[in-house]
Amino acid sequence: MTSLRGHAAIETRQATGPATMAGVPGATLAEARPDAAWDAMIEGMPGGDLVQTTAWASIRQRLGTSVCHLRVHGADGTLVGGCLIQHRRVMPGIRIGAVPRGPLLLRARPAAAELLIQEVIAAARTLGIRLLVVQPSEGDTVMESALAAAGFRVGAPPIAPTATIRLDLRRSEGELFSGIRATRRRRVRQSQREGLETAVSDDVEAFHRLYVASAARQGFRPLPLENLKTQWEVLAPRGMCRIILTRHGGVPVAGEWFTVFGGEWTAKLRGYDIAQCAPATRNAPTAAVWASILEARREGARRFDFGGFDRGIAEALVAGHEPPPDLADSPSHFKWSFGGEAALLPLPRFILTGRIAHLAFASLLQRLLAGDAARRLAQAIRARQ
């Protein structure tokens, strides 16, 4: 594969997409490096996401994932769009690439979207990526159509949440509290009488202990401490990360980990040490979330995102149906109980970058990607993002 080392090794060429744009466009591809202007542009875009910033790319690079930055320009130098492509070798000669919440288009026209997608595929081939998974940004229907037209198929395991539930923080504290389900409101009130203390923290290790305790109880593989420390070291100085810890008697018993981007707090990780469970601490997770909502509002955030949410349940809620009976037994119930509005996010799509391979094997791969092994692979990819 082509090795891109440093900004000096940028590959530049005439773009291969539709010639309906003004002028002759060009594309550049290089290893991602810090770019404050790009990050600010992504933060200001509708659907812009932290995972498409060079700040996030630097985290992934420090943890061993290769990340390249693709930009597509018009002949006048105007940026048409671009994305960050994460990729890893999964076996000799085979690399898998991921573009979560992208590519990002600055000109909402089909010709521009088609051009950008063709450049993403060309970049993947340059990098030696055989399987490319793309999960577009929220609300970008032009990009979704362009992906379908280019041969991308729905059916890949998600590399980002496909549904969520959110709170509008422009409402008053009283309105937010009234929107909580009755049982959860009682738990919030109880937590306020139980001597729990909740505050913003910088204690990454304390949070990680709580998170590992939750992982052991719920049976998932936790991110290593190194991962969280790296995130904190990169994001916290930029104001892009928050830890909220709830303590009882000075001992941390529950915690929340957030990213902060574009006026939104997004819940990423949660921890609760059930070994500390006692009448005085059973409501600690509730206390941590409610305090997080209030802190996000105090800081001027416009929205609070609970992170991943069961898509089937979200589809029912978005359609205006009553919550399905299985919601009570779902991990999504805790998030739903705080109120908010469910939202459906774009589904992932995949393509085999070799034209003949895609024609020959895409249907078979689509069936394989629906299996448990593929879901585990997606979880591994997401864990490294």
- Asked whether the beta carbons of 111 and 66 are under 8 A apart, the reply is no
**Quick one: tokens of 385?**
């993002």
Question: In this predicted model, what pLDDT tens digit does every residue of 342-351 receive, in sequence order?
Answer: 999 999 999 9
**Quick one: tokens of 328?**
């009570």
Question: In this predicted model, what pLDDT tens digit does every residue of 69-99 receive, in sequence order?
Answer: 999 987 778 898 999 999 998 888 788 999 9
Q: What is the 3-state secondary structure (H, E, C) of 313-352?
A: HHHHHHCCCCCCHHHHHCCHHHHHCCCCEEEECCCCEEEE
pLDDT for the residue 326: 84
Q: Which one is predicted more confidently, 310 or 195?
A: 310
Q: Is the pLDDT of residue 53 over 70?
A: yes
pLDDT for the residue 374: 58
pLDDT for the residue 355: 67
pLDDT for the residue 3: 41
| β-strands 241-248, 196-201 pairing | antiparallel
Read off the pLDDT of each residue in 27-47 and give the average, rounded to a whole number.
Answer: 95
Return the CATH number of 7-160+347-383, one of 3.40.630.30, 3.40.30.10, 3.40.50.150, 3.40.50.2300: 3.40.630.30
Q: Is the pLDDT of residue 336 over 50?
A: yes
What is the b/e burial string over 78-90, where b = at least 16 CB atoms within 10 angstroms of the residue's CB? eebbbbbbbbbee
pLDDT for the residue 109: 76
Q: Please state, in angstroms and rounded to a whole number, the distance separating the CA atoms of residues 292 and 268.
A: 13
First CA to last CA distance, the chain: 22
Query: Which residues face 87 on adjacent strands?
Result: 66, 97
What pLDDT band is residue 157 in, cutting at 50, 70 and 90?
confident
CA dihedral 188, 192, 194, 195 (to 10 degrees): 140
Domain chopping of the chain, boundaries: 7-160+347-383, 163-344
**Domain 7-160+347-383 shares a fold with domain 163-344:** yes
Which amino acid belongs to residue 364?
L
| Alpha carbon 149 to chain centroid, angstroms | 25
* DSSP string for 275-321: GG-STTTTTHHHHHHHHHHHHHHHTT-SEEEEEE--HHHHHHHHTTP
pLDDT for the residue 11: 62
DSSP, collapsed to helix, strand or coil, labels residue 13 as strand
pLDDT for the residue 112: 87
pLDDT for the residue 239: 97
* DSSP string for 81-114: EEEEEEEEEEETTEEEEEEET--EESS--HHHHH
pLDDT for the residue 380: 52
Q: Please state, in angstroms and rounded to a whole number, the distance separating the CA atoms of residues 110 and 144.
A: 10
**Quick one: tokens of 12?**
């530049």
pLDDT for the residue 231: 98
What pLDDT band is residue 14 in, cutting at 50, 70 and 90?
low
Q: How many CB atoms lie within 10 A of CB 189?
A: 13
Query: Which residues face 261 on adjacent strands?
Result: 264
Q: Is the pLDDT of residue 185 over 90?
A: yes
Q: Is 219 left (phi over 0), alpha (psi -120 to 50) or beta?
A: left
**Quick one: tokens of 261?**
């981007």
Q: φ, ψ for residue 320 (rounded to 5)?
A: 85, 10
Calculate the alpha carbon distances from 213 to 217, 220, 247, 249 in Å.
6, 10, 15, 19
Question: In this predicted model, what pLDDT tens digit does every residue of 272-290 receive, in sequence order?
Answer: 997 765 666 789 999 999 9
Return the CATH number of 163-344, one of 3.40.630.30, 1.10.1660.10, 3.30.420.340, 3.60.15.10: 3.40.630.30
Q: Is the pLDDT of residue 4 over 60?
A: no
Among residues 278, 255, 256, which one has the least CA distance to residue 266?
A: 256
Question: In this predicted model, what pLDDT tens digit does every residue of 222-253 receive, in sequence order?
Answer: 999 999 999 999 999 999 999 999 999 899 99
pLDDT for the residue 77: 81
Read off the pLDDT of each residue in 305-332 and give the average, rounded to a whole number.
Answer: 91
| β-strands 241-248, 341-344 pairing | unpaired
Percent of the residues in the chain that have a pLDDT greater than 70, as a whole number: 84
Read off the pLDDT of each residue in 26-30 and give the average, rounded to a whole number.
Answer: 92
* Mean pLDDT of the chain, nearest integer: 87
